[in-house]
């Protein structure tokens, strides 16, 4: 898992190379960016691990995922999220993994 004080690029690289089993309790939000499609969909990492395998990396999953809408397109943008924390004032933390928010 990425170190909290790593650069944004370092965090992203560490997350993309992390096995799904290391990230249970977190969520992956994805969007194909196609007009008229389903928009952002959020998946629990634990559910993805059950489907793609616990040893699959986040990067492998993002390459294999396809839109469940009519377009069947690849993931255009993706974020790793902490999810909602009940009774907490803090907003969920999002780390951009793919898309325009990612700065090289």
CB-based contacts of 94, cutoff 8 Å, min separation 6 = 29, 79, 80, 81, 82
What pLDDT digit, counting tens, does each position of 65-99 carry?
Answer: 998 777 888 999 999 998 766 666 666 688 999 99
- Nearest CA-CA partner of 32 in 70, 83, 77: 77
Tell me the two tokens of residue 67: 């839109």
What pLDDT digit, counting tens, does each position of 5-57 carry?
Answer: 678 888 899 999 999 999 999 999 999 998 888 888 999 999 999 999 999 99
Domain ranges of the chain: 8-84+91-98
CB-based contacts of 77, cutoff 8 Å, min separation 6 = 30, 31, 33, 96, 98, 99, 100, 101
């Amino acid at each position: 898992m990425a170190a909290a004080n790593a650069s944004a690029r370092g965090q992203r690289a560490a997350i993309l190379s992390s096995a799904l089993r290391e990230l249970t309790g977190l969520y992956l939000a994805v969007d194909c960016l196609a007009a008229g499609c389903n928009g952002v969909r959020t998946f629990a990492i634990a559910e993805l691990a059950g489907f793609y395998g616990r040893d699959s990396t986040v990067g492998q999953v993002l390459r294999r995922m396809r839109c469940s809408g009519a377009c069947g397109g690849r993931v255009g943008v993706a974020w790793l999220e902490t999810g909602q924390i009940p009774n907490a004032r803090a907003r969920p933390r999002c780390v951009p993994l793919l898309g325009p928010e990612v700065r090289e």
